[in-house]
Amino acid sequence: MKPLSAWARRAALLLHLVLVGGLVAWCGWLPGMLLSLPLLTALPGLLRGRTYTASWASMLVVFYVAGLLAEGVAMPGRRSVGTLLSTVAALDFVSLVLFVRLTGRELAARTGSSGAAAR
């Protein structure tokens, strides 16, 4: 059975790619690629399963959640797509944070440390 962190990592990768694809489909090819370029810089580290990359990528995704929500409110005609993409970005954030937390807990359980010194 795979650890929970592996499932969270797969969910984060899938949601990250869906967010990039959604931005490209929503904004057009060139503007969408420019808008999703910061997300694409995190992709190699996420593919390798690096928790440091997932940590800073989660902080980056928060700006996409806020921007997409603001776009949905500001443009009533684009509200449904903006809300859908902001929901994908929020789920991406949650899965990235869960990946980092679960990986830390699983590592602490393997090494036998309580993690109290790290707090």
pLDDT value at position 105? 93
Average pLDDT on 69-80 reads 88
- Residue 98's identity, in one-letter code, is L
pLDDT value at position 114? 63
Whole-number Cα distances in Å, 25 to 22, 35, 55, 95: 5, 11, 26, 23
pLDDT tens digits, 16-26? 999 999 999 99
Which range (70-84, 89-103, 104-118) has the least confidence?
104-118
Burial class (CB in 10 A: 0-12, 13-18, 19+), 9: buried
State the Cα–Cα distance between residues 40 and 17, nearest whole angstrom: 9
pLDDT value at position 119? 44
Q: Specify the pTM.
A: 0.89
User: Is 90 exceeded by the pLDDT of residue 2?
Assistant: no
User: Is 70 exceeded by the pLDDT of residue 62?
Assistant: yes
